[in-house]
Amino acid sequence: MKMVEFTRDMRPHRAGETRVVPDVVADKLIADGKAKLRDSVFDKTSSQSAVPTVGKAYKTRKRK
């Protein structure tokens, strides 16, 4: 199973939607230019960083 993002409207899917499809179907869609391969957020080999970004710590105001 591969995650793809559709590049054009194809009923019942719209351009920009991300779906998981079987490998054979994904390869055919990518070869035809109707979709592009998307990395999963759970995929360890993705180009995204595996380390989450950390924001500022929450601070409470002093009591009067």
Q: Which of 16, 40, 14, 36 is nearest to 27 (CA)?
A: 36
Position 29 confidence tier, pLDDT thresholds 50, 70, 90: very high
- The strand pairing partners of 20, in sequence order, are 3
- The strand pairing partners of 2, in sequence order, are 21
Question: Does residue 51 surpass a pLDDT of 70?
Answer: no
Reported as a single tens digit per residue, the pLDDT across 6-21 is 998 888 888 999 999 9
Would you state the pLDDT for residue 33? 92
- The strand pairing partners of 3, in sequence order, are 20
Is the full-model pTM beyond 0.85? no
